[in-house]
C-alpha cells in the first residue's frame, strides 16, 4: 500500500513538472479546489481551439500562470497570469484563449488592423453625398 502511495505521489510530481514545462503553472496558495488534470485538459483544448480557429499549423501553447484565490477574476497580459477568485473552468479557458491570441497577434499587428478599419471608414462616401 505504501508503495502505491509513493508511486501516486511521484506521478503527481512529474505531472506538475510537465505542466510547467508546457507553459502552465498553478499557484494555489489558498488551496482552492482544482483538478490539475482538468486544468491541463482545458489549457491544451483552448490552445487547440485558437489554433484551429486561425488555421495555424504551429503549436501555440502560451506561457500561463494560473493564480487561484485572487481578489478578482482577471487576465494580466504582461505577467501572463490568469487570476481567479476560485476555480472556474470557463473563466480559465477564456483567459487561455486571450493569452494565446496575444501570442499569435501582437499589439502592433492589432493596431495595424485597427488603422486599416479607420482608413476604410474614411474612404467610403454615402450615396447621398455623391448626388449633390
42 neighbors 87 (Cβ within 8 angstroms): no
How high is the pLDDT of residue 19? Answer: 40
User: Is 56 a domain residue?
Assistant: yes
C-alpha of 107 from chain center: 16
User: Is 121 a domain residue?
Assistant: no
Low-confidence winner among 8-22, 42-56, 106-120 (lowest mean pLDDT) = 8-22
Residues 6+ apart with CB under 8 A from 75: 81, 82, 83, 94, 95, 98, 99
User: Is 35 a domain residue?
Assistant: yes
Name the grid cell of 5: 502511495
Number of domains the chain is built from: 1
Instruction: Please give the share of the chain, as a percent, with pLDDT higher than 70.
Output: 76
The boundaries of the domain holding residue 66 are 2-106
Low-confidence winner among 29-43, 56-70, 74-88, 107-121 (lowest mean pLDDT) = 107-121
Q: 96: pLDDT confidence band, cut at 50, 70 and 90? A: very high
Amino acid at each position: 500500500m505504501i508503495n502505491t502511495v509513493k508511486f501516486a505521489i511521484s506521478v503527481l510530481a512529474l505531472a506538475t513538472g510537465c505542466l510547467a514545462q508546457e507553459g502552465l503553472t498553478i499557484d494555489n496558495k489558498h488551496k482552492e479546489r482544482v483538478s490539475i488534470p482538468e486544468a491541463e485538459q482545458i489549457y491544451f483544448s483552448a490552445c487547440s481551439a485558437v489554433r484551429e480557429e486561425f488555421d495555424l499549423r504551429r503549436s501555440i501553447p502560451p506561457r500561463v500562470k494560473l493564480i487561484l484565490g485572487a481578489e478578482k477574476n482577471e487576465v494580466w497580459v504582461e505577467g501572463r497570469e490568469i487570476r481567479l477568485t476560485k476555480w472556474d473552468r470557463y473563466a480559465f479557458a477564456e483567459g487561455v484563449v486571450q493569452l494565446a491570441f496575444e501570442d499569435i497577434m501582437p499589439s502592433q499587428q492589432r493596431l495595424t488592423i485597427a488603422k486599416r478599419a479607420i482608413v476604410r471608414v474614411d474612404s467610403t462616401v454615402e450615396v447621398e453625398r455623391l448626388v449633390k
